[in-house]
Amino acid sequence: MAVRLFSTVAGLRCYLDLSWGKQPRSSDSPSNPMPIPALEIGFVPTMGALHTGHLSLIERARRENKLVVVSIFVNPLQFAPGEDFSRYPRQLERDRSLCEGAGVDVLFTPTPEEMGVTASDQTHIQPPQALVSGLCGRSRPGHFEGVATIVTKLLNLVQPDRSYFGQKDAQQVAIIRRLVQDLKLPVEIIACPIIREANGLALSSRNQYLSDEEKIQATALYQGLANAQNLFRTGERSSATLVQAVKLELANVPVIHPEYIELVDPMTLKPLETVTDEGLLALAARIGSTRLIDNCVLRGSYGVAPNANRQPMIAIDGPAGAGKSTVARKVAEVLGLFYLDTGAMYRALTWFILKSGVDLGDEPTVAELASQCQIDFVNTPSPSVFVNGEDVTQAIRTPEVTARVSAIAAQGAVRAVLVRQQQHYGQRGGIVIDGRDIGTHVFPDAEVKIFLTASIAERARRRQVDLKNLGQSDVTLGDLERAIAERDRQDSTRAISPLRKADDAIEIKSDNLTIEEVLGAIVTLYQAKTASLLV
């Protein structure tokens, strides 16, 4: 379908309102008194002159949402006098056809008047000084206030479920995350990896200003970061030494004038003297009259230095019945990692909700309880699960909990709360976790991603064996195959967290493999990954 182009707020809002009206209402929980809208909107704000970096954001938005909105707005608020506002590349026709090719539904191209940014006196968003005053903020006063103001307006207009930003603009990502958190905007901010030329140069609309020779010279920016990253991998954690590695590389190219090279905390942007968990190594430099930025995130990896707390983690996704949780548990045991039992988390929450006696179909109340339910795992003296300090290890295995857990897990707000708790657990790495969207959504940065599958026939055969062991020998293979095929269809087409293999996941089809062989394959992959991080 052709991309719809709107340049006014009225057109955009009318289109979005009508799209909501056309959406089928979710039937995930039939007892729910309030209809749940199933439309999911992914939003990619840009300034146009689209390149493969922008397209990577759009592709991700396309994969994860029903409707994709891209905006193109060269925002005057974020350019200081004397900066390149008037000569910034504007290529609407080309951008439109790129959006069309990428399956964008709506392209929003407002004028500055339409966005209300031309009046001298207007409401501005002021992010915390600590975030806007350092790095690029030092030479671009007012820039991030301009970005924050326009992004807030756009998020209000589009009201997306998810909005996609490039890690290329790492300071911008930190500021927008904070803005969304502080203003309580109901949107998920997703940062996407930096897309580079084959020679390492980060793609940017401003690369158009560079001559061919400058483009080659500019690769020193990436090379400097790569040198620091290599040092980091060998165990170097001192900010001064890592920054010096970048400086040395840039010093080889006299036409490059560095503006800053700094190592900061990726969230707070506070300068770091050493990296413990994570550091953002960011730089800005001028080549001729062009200002370029680039960065890399340095993450502690297993066993490298005393303070390197982050161990690689393993995310295992795959269809139901492929043996994910059995395998995940064993992998964790063999590798001495922590098995984050997401099933137990849903059970624990279900127990908490049942205990409170509320109507399970009352989603807003369930959501409220979910966010007051702190789930903890303790491994010694024996593996136990706690809810708000109470040991519920036995209580979450009752038939009552078993009977209700899937209805609770189907609720969007419940998933959102538990995904946040899972991500919190995963911050330090060293976990094995299985599910449907772990590698694609919960931990897109997981170091080892596995997609564990088996044919429908094989899964039906295994299920039949399990059922026979439970004394049920009257279920036919045909029935089981049909049920599994239907479950696969539902899982891969769900509005919330559909099953999908992450692009960088390794697929293991277990039809002709024993559990030990699957286990061996994953352990080998993990050990190889750990070794590569230690290089």
Residues interacting with ligand AMP, by CB under 6 A?
A: 46-47, 53-54, 56-57, 165-166, 168-169, 192, 194-195, 202-205
CB closer to ligand AMP out of 165 and 346: 165
Q: Closest separation between CB of residue 291 and ligand AMP, Å?
A: 12
Q: Which residue is nearest to ligand AMP (CB)?
A: 166
Q: Closest separation between CB of residue 528 and ligand AMP, Å?
A: 27
User: In sequence order, what DSSP letters do the residues of 263-284 get, joined into one string?
Assistant: EE-TTT--B-SB-SSEEEEEEE
| Among 51, 54, 257, 424, the one annotated catalytic | 54
CB closer to ligand AMP out of 165 and 443: 165
Residues 454/323, Cβ–Cβ less than 8 Å: yes
Q: Closest separation between CB of residue 103 and ligand AMP, Å?
A: 17
Is residue 54 part of the annotated active site? The answer reads yes
Q: Residue ranges of the alpha helices (H) in 297-436? A: 324-335, 342-356, 363-370, 399-409, 412-426
CB closer to ligand AMP out of 185 and 373: 185
CB closer to ligand AMP out of 57 and 284: 57
d(CA 350, CA 375): 11
Give residues with Cβ within 8 angstroms of 21, minimum separation 6: none
Instruction: For 394-480, list the strands marked E by DSSP.
Output: 431-435, 448-453
Q: Closest separation between CB of residue 52 and ligand AMP, Å?
A: 7
d(CA 443, CA 315): 7
CB closer to ligand AMP out of 146 and 430: 146
Residues 422/442, Cβ–Cβ less than 8 Å: yes
Half-sphere exposure of 182 (CA within 13 A, CB side): 12
Q: Closest separation between CB of residue 342 and ligand AMP, Å?
A: 30
d(CA 518, CA 535): 26
CB closer to ligand AMP out of 160 and 319: 160
d(CA 132, CA 134): 6
In 3D space, the residue among 162, 187, 188, 164 whose CA is nearest the CA of residue 55 turns out to be 164
d(CA 239, CA 263): 6
CB closer to ligand AMP out of 59 and 169: 169
In 3D space, the residue among 500, 511, 505 whose CA is nearest the CA of residue 455 turns out to be 511
Mapping DSSP to helix (H, G, I), strand (E, B) and coil, where does residue 293 land? strand
Instruction: For 39-139, list the strands marked E by DSSP.
Output: 41-46, 67-72, 106-108
User: In sequence order, what DSSP letters do the residues of 370-386 get, joined into one string?
Assistant: HTT--EEEE-SSS-EEE
Q: Closest separation between CB of residue 192 and ligand AMP, Å?
A: 6
Give residues with Cβ within 8 angstroms of 534, minimum separation 6: 233, 301, 302, 303, 304
Residues 408/350, Cβ–Cβ less than 8 Å: yes
Q: Closest separation between CB of residue 194 and ligand AMP, Å?
A: 4
- Catalytic residue numbers, as ranges: 54
